[in-house]
C-alpha cells in the first residue's frame, strides 16, 4: 500500500515540473486590451438585473430594424456565392 502512494507521487512529479511557461496575468495583452479588461465591471447576477422598460412591441421593432439593416449585406454575400458557383460550374464543365 505504501509503495502505491510513492509510485503515484513519483509519477505526478514526472509530468508536472511546476514551472510556468506562459503567465496569464494580463501583462501579455496589448495595452488597449489590458485597459479594457482592467476597468471592466463584472456583470451582475440575473436576480439583480433590472427589468427592461421596453414593451414587447418595441423589442420586436428593434429586432426587426436590426435584421433590416443586415439584410442588404446578406443579399450581397448570397449573390457573390452564386456568382462563384456559376463560374465554377462553367469552368469545370
- CA 40 to CA 25: how far, in whole Å? 15
Residues 69, 58 contacting (CB under 8 angstroms): no
Q: Could you tell me if residue 19 is inside a domain?
A: no
Among 30-34, 63-67, 68-72, name the one with the lowest average pLDDT: 30-34
- Provide the domain limits for residue 63: 55-93
- CA 57 to CA 51: how far, in whole Å? 16
Q: Could you tell me if residue 2 is inside a domain?
A: no
Q: Could you tell me if residue 39 is inside a domain?
A: no
Q: Could you tell me if residue 70 is inside a domain?
A: yes
Q: Could you tell me if residue 87 is inside a domain?
A: yes
Residues 38, 26 contacting (CB under 8 angstroms): yes
- CA 12 to CA 9: how far, in whole Å? 5
Could you tell me the pLDDT band of residue 59, with boundaries at 50, 70 and 90? very high
Residues 62, 70 contacting (CB under 8 angstroms): no
Could you tell me the pLDDT band of residue 70, with boundaries at 50, 70 and 90? very high
Q: What pLDDT digit, counting tens, does each position of 20-54 carry?
A: 777 666 666 666 666 666 666 677 777 777 888 88
Could you give the number of structural domains in the chain? 1
Q: What pLDDT digit, counting tens, does each position of 73-91 carry?
A: 999 999 999 999 999 999 9
Q: Could you tell me if residue 48 is inside a domain?
A: no
Amino acid at each position: 500500500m505504501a509503495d502505491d502512494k510513492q509510485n503515484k507521487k513519483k509519477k505526478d512529479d514526472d509530468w508536472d515540473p511546476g514551472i510556468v511557461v506562459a503567465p496569464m496575468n494580463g501583462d501579455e495583452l496589448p495595452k488597449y486590451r489590458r485597459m479594457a479588461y482592467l476597468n471592466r465591471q463584472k456583470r451582475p447576477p440575473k436576480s439583480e438585473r433590472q427589468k427592461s422598460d421596453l414593451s414587447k412591441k418595441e423589442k420586436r421593432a428593434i429586432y426587426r430594424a436590426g435584421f433590416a439593416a443586415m439584410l442588404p449585406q446578406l443579399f450581397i454575400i448570397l449573390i457573390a456565392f452564386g456568382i462563384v458557383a456559376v463560374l465554377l460550374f462553367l469552368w469545370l464543365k
